[in-house]
């Protein structure tokens, strides 16, 4: 499974790089805080919304801690999509000590 760190994602965004971020948390979790510009597809709906994704587009998968996004990354990769898991998820994103 491909992985990317929170620091790598932040640096790319700071450099105005276009990233395709998919947050697989539930809607209520998203409302508590999220990265600007994400697409929200809850993990339980991912298989039903595959038609919205392009196999030629790289996606970075995000969740609270990296577990659900890891599952989503494996699922998408299995189906031929270019998916990368953001290690540590939003907990690492919001950790002020990093």
Catalytic residues: 63
Q: Which residues contact 26 (CB under 8 A, 6 or more apart)?
A: 42
- Please give the structure tokens belonging to residue 82: 């270019």
49/31 Cα distance (integer angstroms): 21
- Please give the structure tokens belonging to residue 3: 């992985």
Bridge partners (DSSP) of residue 23 are: 40, 62
Measure CA of the first residue to CA of the last residue in the chain; give whole Å. Answer: 24
């Amino acid at each position: 499974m491909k992985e990317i760190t929170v620091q790598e994602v932040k640096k790319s965004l700071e450099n105005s790089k276009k990233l395709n971020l998919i947050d697989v948390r539930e809607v209520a979790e998203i409302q508590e805080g999220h990265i600007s510009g994400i697409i929200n597809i809850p993990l339980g709906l991912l298989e039903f919304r595959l038609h919205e994704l392009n196999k030629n587009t790289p996606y970075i998968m995000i969740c609270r801690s990296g577990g659900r996004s890891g599952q989503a990354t494996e699922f998408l990769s299995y189906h031929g999509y270019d998916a990368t898991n953001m290690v540590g998820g939003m907990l690492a994103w919001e950790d002020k000590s990093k």
